[in-house]
Structure 1
């Protein structure tokens, strides 16, 4: 099983999984790569830098703060 699917299976609520799956897809579009491949080849420090860039990108694109926070899929709420 891919890391992404393993991580998503850790959430009990189906709606939470759907939300995080969608948010991961947004991040994959941003990095232009499958998240599993990206995580396998990328150092942790770079991952955090890219996540910060993604959050900044969302803010620059005038997403509402609540939307930007909701796209922070790396901060679990479930």
Structure 2
């Protein structure tokens, strides 16, 4: 006879995933989040005000306490 213990603690399999801190918002930009708590897997989406162009990543993902890719994008004034 044998017994089977079922593990019910989700953290056992996935560890303690860390949330991210606010990733920063460059001047003349808007940043929105897929999850208000900035938890692991949250997506930060960046856009610029009219008359500005986004330089750098438009989306960053919270990966266990770090925003990926690294580096905050910035908004540069477009010249017409």
TM over 0.5: no
Larger of the two Rg values belongs to structure: 2
* Greater helix fraction, Structure 1 or Structure 2: 1
Higher relative contact order (CA 8 A, sep 6+): 1
* Greater strand fraction, Structure 1 or Structure 2: 2
Give me the TM-score of the superposition, normalised by structure 1.
0.26
